[in-house]
Amino acid sequence: MIKAIYIAKEHDGTQQKVDCIELVEGKGIVGDRNYDKSKWPGQNITLIELEEIRNYNRVYKQEIEISSTRRNIITTGVNLNDLVGKKFSIGDVRFKGVELCEPCGILGDMLKNDTIDKKDVVAALLHKGGLRADVLNSGSIKIGMQLNTNI
C-alpha cells in the first residue's frame, strides 16, 4: 500500500507531502526535481518501505521522519528489493524496477547526528534504501493505492 508520497521541486529542496501525483511515461513525476531527467535508468521515481524506516529508527535509536529518506513513495507490505528487474503497478500505472536505491553520502550527511555518523548511516541503509524505477505508462497515483506485483 502507498502510505505517503513526496516530491521536491529542486535538487536540494524540501520534500513536500502530496496526496496524488501525475506520472509521465519515461519522464517521471510532474513537478519533481528529477522530472524528464535521464542521466541513468531508474531516475523516474524512487520508493522505500515504511518497515525499513521504522526498523532503522528502532535499531539505531533514531527518529527520522519518513520524508528524510528523500524517496518519492513510501510503501508498506511489499519487499521492494524483490522488484529489481520486474514490472509492477500502482493503480493503472506500470513501472519497472531498475535497481536498489542505495544510500549516498548526501543522505548520510543529512541523517547523521550526535549518535550516528555519516558512514554508519550509509551502512545501516545499505540494501534497505528502496528501489529506483522507470515509469512505463502515464497516469496518476494517490495515497492508499495498492502496489501490485502480479502483472
Instruction: Give the domain extent around 119.
Output: 2-142
List of residues 6+ apart from 13 with CB closer than 8 A: 33
What CATH code is carried by the domain that includes residue 51? 2.40.33.20
- Structure confidence by residue, pLDDT tens digits, 46-100: 999 999 999 999 999 999 999 999 999 999 999 999 999 999 999 999 999 999 9
Instruction: Give the predicted TM-score (pTM) of the model.
Output: 0.93
Q: Please report whether residue 56 resides in a domain.
A: yes
List of residues 6+ apart from 39 with CB closer than 8 A: none
Contact 45, 73 (CB under 8 A): yes
Query: What domain count does the chain have?
Result: 1
Q: Please report whether residue 147 resides in a domain.
A: no
